[in-house]
Chains A and B, each alone.
Chain A
C-alpha cells in the first residue's frame, strides 16, 4: 500500500483507533433514524403530503455532509494534538491535503450510496402505497432523475470538500477573524444553489439545475460548463488552502 493510501485510510478512519462502543451506538442511532424517517415518510405518503419529486431532491442535502466532514477531518488534527506530527510528515502540504480530500470524497461516496438506496426504497414504497399517483414515475424516470441529481452532486462535491478544508485551516491562522465572512459566503452559495435547484425541480420539464443556472445554453453544454467551473474553483481553493497551511498555520 502506498504512503498516500495510508494517509487516506488514516483520514477515513478505517484503520485506526475506532472506539467500538462509539461505533456500536452510532449504528443504533443510524438505524433508529432510518426507521423514524420511514415512519414519517409513510405517514406523509399516505396523507398525500409528499410527491414523487422528493426522491430527486433529497440526495441534494448530501452536499452539506461533504463540507462538514472535510472540515472535521482538519479540525481533528488540532483538537487531537496530532497537528504537529501531521505537519511534520515528510510530504508536501498539497499531498497531506490531497489525502484528506480523497478521504473526504470516499466518505461522501459512502453516504451517497446509502442515500441512493434510501431514495430507491422511498420510490418502491410510493409505488406500492400510492400506485395511482406514482405509476407515472416509472423506472426510467427514477433512473434519469437520480442520475442527473448524482452527476450534479458529484460535480459540486469537490468544491464543498475543499471549502470545508479551507474553512478549517482558516480557523487556525491569523486570518481567523475572516471566518464569519466565510460563513456568509458559504450560506449565500448554498442558498443560491438550492433555490436554483428547487426552481429547476419544480419546473415542469425537470431541466437540469445547471440549465437553470445558465439560461440560454443547452443542458449538455451547461452541465459541462458547470462541472468545469466547479472543478476549477475547487482546484483554486485547494491551492489556497495548501498555501495557508504552509505559510500561516498556527500550531
Chain B
C-alpha cells in the first residue's frame, strides 16, 4: 500500500521545550490513522506541521508524495484540516459559511453549489443549510467545520480532536462520515485522547507521549504486542495493593485495582478464595479486555487521562 504520509526523525522545539522529539511514522493511503496521546503530548503540533501551518526544526516529512519543506503550497491544496477550534461565522447561515470557504478555495458557480450540497449531505445537515450558525449546537458546528474542510475534495483529511465537547448524535455522525470517507479512498488522520474512538475507527495508530512516539503500527498488532491480560477487582476492604499468585504489575484504577496476570482464571480463583477467607465484600470482579488504555498504562505507567 502506498504511503500518504512518511515522517522521519521529526523534531520541533518551542524555545527550550521539545514538542516533538525524533518522531517517525508513516500512514498508508486510504487508511484511517489515529494519533493517540494525552493532552500536551504533541498531537496538535504534529497536525499543524502536516498541514504546513508551522515549520519543523529537523527531520523529513513527505505528504501525498510532496516534500513538506519545498512543496508546501501543493500540499495545502490536497489537504483538508479541521482544527480543534470552531472556525465559522456565527451570523451567517451554514450554506453561506460554506459558500465563503468554498470561494476561498477557488471553487465557483455551479460547481460550488454542488459541492456545498454534497458536503452538507455528508455531514447530515442538509435540512439546516439555511439556519444561522449561532443557532447550532457544538456538535453541529463541528460538522459544518468538517464540511468546510471537505469542500475542495481533499485527498487527506486531518481532524484534530473533533469530538471534544460534542453531543453523542454528532459524534456518531462524524464516525459514520469518517468510515464513508475511508471507503472513498480518502486518508484520514484522527487525533484524540479517547482510546475508544481510535479502537473503533482506526486501522493504524501512533501513541505519542511527551513528544515521543511510544508505539506505532497496525492497531491489532499493537494490542497483541503490548496489551496484557488483567483482572479488575473492587472491594472497600482492599485498601492496600493486593498480592496474588500469578499476579504481575498492580495499579490503582478508579476505586479498584487492575492486576496484570499471566493466568486470568488462576488469579480470579485466587481473589475469590481470599475474599471468602477474609469475608470481603467484592463489588466488582471482571476480566479487563486488552485495549489501548492498558497499552498506554503498561508503556508509560500512567493513564491516558492523567
Q: Which positions in A face B, CB cutoff 8 Å?
A: 1, 3, 6-7, 10, 15-19, 81-85, 87-92, 174, 246-251
B79 within 8 A of A: yes
Q: Which 4 A-B pairs have the closest CB atoms?
A: A81-B85, A84-B83, A90-B76, A90-B77
A82–B86 CA distance with the chains assembled, in angstroms: 8
Per the bound structure, the CA–CA distance linking A17 and B87 in Å amounts to 12
Whether the Cβ atoms of A16 and B76 lie closer than 8 Å is: no
Contact of A91 among B14, B55, B73, B79 (CB under 8 A): B73
B interface with A by C-beta (< 8 Å): 14-15, 48, 51-55, 73, 76-77, 79, 81, 83, 85-87, 89-92, 100, 103-106, 152
Interchain nearest-CB distance for A241 vs B (Å): 15
Q: Which residues of A contact B87 (CB under 8 A)?
A: 81-82, 84-85
Give chain B residues whose Cβ lies under 8 Å from the Cβ of A87: 52-53
For A83, list chain B residues within 8 Å (CB).
Answer: 53
Q: Which residues of the other chain, B, contact A249 by a CB distance below 8 angstroms?
A: 53-54
Other-chain contact of B91, A1, A17, A89 (Cβ < 8 Å): A17
Contact status B51-A88, CB under 8 Å: yes
Of A1, A7, A16, A250, which contacts B54 at CB under 8 A? A250
**A97 CB, nearest partner CB in chain B, Å:** 15
CA distance A218 to B245 in the complex (A): 99
Most B-side CB within 10 Å, residue of A6, A84, A174:
A84
CB–CB B14/A88 < 8 A? no
- Counting chain A CB atoms within 10 Å of each CB, the highest count among B15, B103, B105, B152 belongs to B103
Nearest CB in chain B: distance from A125 CB, A: 40
12 A-B interface contacts by CB (under 8 A): A3-B103, A3-B104, A3-B105, A3-B106, A16-B92, A17-B92, A84-B48, A84-B87, A88-B81, A90-B76, A90-B106, A174-B14
In the complex, chain A residues whose CB is within 8 Å of the CB of B54 = 249-251
In the assembled complex, which residues on chain A have CB atoms less than 8 Å from the CB atom of B76? 88-91
- Determine the chain A residues whose CB is within 8 A of the CB of B86 once the complex forms: 81
- The one of A84, A88, A246 in contact with B79, judged by C-beta atoms closer than 8 angstroms, is A88
For the complex, what is the distance from the CA of A233 to the CA of B83, rounded to whole Å?
A: 36
Task: Knowing that A90-B106, A174-B15 touch, tell me 15 more A-B residue pairs with CB under 8 angstroms.
Answer: A3-B105, A6-B100, A6-B103, A10-B100, A10-B104, A17-B89, A18-B91, A19-B91, A84-B48, A85-B81, A87-B52, A89-B104, A92-B73, A247-B55, A251-B54
The answer to whether B90 and A251 touch across the interface, beta carbons within 8 angstroms, is no
Given contacts A3-B106, A84-B85, A88-B76, are A248 and B91 in contact (CB under 8 A)? no
Contact for B104 among A6, A18, A84, A251, CB less than 8 A? A6
Whether A1 pairs with B48 at a CB distance below 8 angstroms is no
Instruction: Report the bound CA distance from A69 to B217 in whole Å.
Output: 49
Residues B48 and A251 in contact, CB atoms below 8 Å apart: yes
CB B40 to nearest CB in A, in angstroms, measures 15
Residues of B within 8 Å of A250, CB to CB, are: 14, 54
